[in-house]
Amino acid sequence: MKLNTSFKERKSLGQDVFEYLKNAIIDQTIEPGSRLVESKLAEMLGISRTPLREALHKLEREEWIEKTPSGGFQVVSLTRHDIEETFGIRSVLEAYAARLAAENYQEKDLFPLEKKMLEYQKCLEKKANDKLQKINTEFHDLLYALSRNPKLIKMINQLRAQIARFRQIILKQDEYAVESNEDHFKMLEAIKNRDGDAVEKLVREHILKGKKAVLNQFVEEGKEQKSA
């Protein structure tokens, strides 16, 4: 694992380190199952152990890392149960948000979505796949904002970090990266037609394709773990 070493001591350092390490776990700079050795991390990041411990304890509370029998920490490994659970919840919440978007959107609301899809397509053509996750996330955020339902959006955002972790896996697979944008075009067409049934079905199928991609990757890499 190769980490940034530009941190400076300040009051918000513990939170900054927490965000940095969480993002490193999401993008798999720090891989599932990796041991986190406090002394080595503090040295690599150029900080004292106090803010690092604050960050580690927060990561533990949010279930990104767990204690090992030896007393240290390791990154939580994803299991089939984690994947099934997260994608199951997403398929319900996000499909409903898309239905509401089809019912509530105004014409001007669709231009940012179209722009994101074209931006994504250009990155595909240029093989700039490292930018796809950010654009994909922005597309979905714009789409669900059209639901005009703050409580629903808040519930979706509570899964945001876990969703980002899975998108990182999905969009590394060329076949799914291409198919993802094709699905987005279909969703937008259904929204334009104010066809709530169609877009709800499309989003649910889109999310289940993502689940399949994640499970396939785990099987191929021999990392799949059965839930207890």
- C-alpha distance from residue 171 to each of 116, 213, 214, 220 (Å): 16, 9, 10, 16
CB atoms within 10 A of CB 34: 17
Tokens matching residue 100? 């509401």
In a domain, 4, yes or no: no
In a domain, 99, yes or no: yes
Q: How far apart are CA 113 and CA 109, in angstroms?
A: 8
In a domain, 227, yes or no: no
Do 136 and 92 belong together in one domain?
yes
Do 128 and 202 belong together in one domain?
yes
Q: What is the pLDDT of residues 51-91, one digit of tens each?
A: 999 999 999 998 899 999 888 899 998 888 989 999 999 99
Q: What is the mean pLDDT of residues 192-201?
A: 98
Tokens matching residue 76? 């939580």
**Residue 160 DSSP SS3:** helix
CATH number for the domain that contains residue 114: 1.20.120.530
The whole-model pTM stands at 0.79
Do 132 and 211 belong together in one domain?
yes
Looking at the structure of the chain, the number of domains it has is 2
Residue 131 belongs to what domain range?
Answer: 80-221
Do 55 and 135 belong together in one domain?
no
Do 55 and 159 belong together in one domain?
no
In a domain, 58, yes or no: yes
Q: How far apart are CA 72 and CA 81, in angstroms?
A: 25
Do 92 and 27 belong together in one domain?
no
Tokens matching residue 220? 């191929």
Q: How far apart are CA 162 and CA 136, in angstroms?
A: 14
Best CA proximity match to 92, nearest among 145, 23, 144: 144
Best CA proximity match to 167, nearest among 140, 198, 136: 136
Evaluate if residue 196 carries a pLDDT over 80.
Answer: yes
Residue at which a domain ends, from 27, 47, 75 = 75
Q: What is the pLDDT of residues 77-134, one digit of tens each?
A: 888 898 999 999 999 999 999 999 999 999 999 999 999 999 999 999 999 988 999 9
The per-residue pLDDT of the chain, averaged, comes to 90
Do 119 and 217 belong together in one domain?
yes
In a domain, 5, yes or no: no
pLDDT band of residue 164 (cuts 50, 70, 90) is: confident
Q: How far apart are CA 150 and CA 8, in angstroms?
A: 36
In a domain, 17, yes or no: yes
Do 87 and 68 belong together in one domain?
no
* The residue type at 58: K
In a domain, 98, yes or no: yes
Q: How far apart are CA 174 and CA 31, in angstroms?
A: 21
Tokens matching residue 44? 């690599």
For the chain, how are helix, strand and coil distributed in percent, rounded to 5?
70, 5, 25
Interhelix angle 174-192/132-145, rounded to 10 degrees, is 20
Specify the pLDDT at position 222: 64
In a domain, 54, yes or no: yes
CATH number for the domain that contains residue 66: 1.10.10.10
